Structure 1
Amino acid sequence: MSMLEWLLQVVLLALLGAAIPFALRLERSLREIRRDRSAMEGSAQGLSEAARMADAAMVRLRASAELAGRQVAERTAAAEPLRDDLRYLIERAETLADRLEGLVRAGRPLANEAPRAAEQPLQSQAERDLMRALALGAGKAGR
């Protein structure tokens, strides 16, 4: 072998020796990338499972919301006649209250004559109730 061949082989050995640390670093990096890829695949599977579970939860939530909406609509529909009945009763009560107020005002002058009327026995429970209401009204008016 000639000197040139020996020199080329030494240069080649030096280059191979310099390449070994780079090859080791490259191998470690590739190992980490493979490990990270498997972890990423596991994460992707976990993410897809979470997305599937979220979709299922949204379907259940929609079904619950629709059921609740139907129940509210049914109860509202059932409450409508009751609301109308209550409005009618309130109107009737206001009318009766106005009539009663008019009777009380008309009966106040008679309340002053109540002691004379008390001498006569009252005929019915309604008369006794009216006299009691008049007496209470006159007592409150005097205060």
Structure 2
Amino acid sequence: MIAVDWKVVLDLIVSVLLIATIGYAWMLNQRLSSLRKNRDDLAKTIAAFNEATLRAESSIPKLRKAAEESGQTLQERVEKAQSLRDDLAFMIERADTMANRLENAVRSARTDGPKPAPEPRGPTAERSAQIGTASTPTMPPPRMAGNRAAAIAAAAAAAESESDDRSEAERELLRALQSMR
């Protein structure tokens, strides 16, 4: 029989195991290098995230300040708009009151005296209505009946007597109303 040399067999077994160990070590080395590479990328990502967090934290006070300033500006504008709204409501109320007075004066003048003939509407009157200006002067024309002219003059005199406590806008509104008649 063949004489088996146990030393050679053991050497062959150890060499096979060493080759398997070298292969496993090489595969483990590959995985560890990819883990190190990913770890470096992860560290870079974490550093970038930290920078972004610091920038965000430093910009929060600036955003708060800007929000407070815009809030104050908005509040001022709202208060100003409310004030203007109140002024306009007052002016509208006064204009309605004056328009009602003028209308009542005209009605009373119409019921007191004879009815005047309707005023002719020609191209000049239509053109002035389109432009927004009156073609008739503020004084009533001579063709009006005496009672109507007197009523308008009385309403204008009443309006002028109260003009001391009126604003410029109210006076302009009254002038425009008078010029339309």
CA positional deviation for 1:32: 0.9
For this pair of structures, how many residues does the alignment match? 127
1:138 is aligned to none
Instruction: Select between 80-89 and 36-45 the one with higher mean Cα deviation.
Output: 80-89
Whole-angstrom CA distance in 2 between matches of 1:4 and 1:98? 132
Question: Which portions of structure 1, spanning 4 or more consecutive aligned residues, are displaced by more than 4 angstroms?
Answer: 113-118, 129-132
State whether structure 2 residue 115 is matched by structure 1 residue 112: yes
2:64 corresponds in structure 1 to 62
The match for 1:77 among 63, 76, 79 is 79
Distance 1:108 1:9 in 2: 138
What is the RMSD of the two structures over their aligned residues, measured on CA atoms? 3.2
The structure 1 residue matched to 2:34, chosen from 32, 35, 55, is 32
Q: Which moved more, 1:78-87 or 1:5-14?
A: 78-87
1:6 is aligned to: 8
TM score, norm. by length of structure 2: 0.57
List gaps (5 residues or longer) in structure 2: 118-142, 155-176
CA distance in 2, matches of 1:85, 1:14: 103
Structure 1: where are the runs of 5+ without partners?
Answer: 134-143
Partner of 2:159: none
Shift of residue 126, structure 1, vs aligned partner: 4.5
Q: Pairwise mapping of residues 36-55 of structure 1 onto structure 2 (< 5 A)?
A: 36-55=38-57
CA distance in 2, matches of 1:131, 1:84: 27
> What is the match of residue 88 of structure 2?
86
Higher relative CO (Cα under 8 Å, sequence separation at least 6) belongs to: 2
How big is the shift at 1:10? 1.4
**TM-score of the aligned structures, taking structure 1 as reference length:** 0.70
Offset from partner CA, 1:48-81 (integer Å, 9 cap, x none): 1112222333332222111101112223334444
CA, structure 1 residues 13+111, in 2 after alignment: closer, same or farther (shift >3 Å)? farther
One-letter code of the match for 1:45? A
Question: How far apart are 1:9 and its partner, in Å?
Answer: 2.0
Give the whole-Å Cα distance in 2 for the aligned partners of 1:111 and 1:131. Answer: 23
Distance 1:7 1:111, change over 3 A: farther
Report the Cα offset of residue 20 of structure 1. 1.5
Question: How much identity, in percent, do the aligned residues show?
Answer: 32
SS in 1 for 2:19: helix
What residue in structure 1 maps to residue 101 of structure 2?
Answer: 99
User: Matches of 1:62 and 1:130 in 2, distance apart?
Assistant: 55
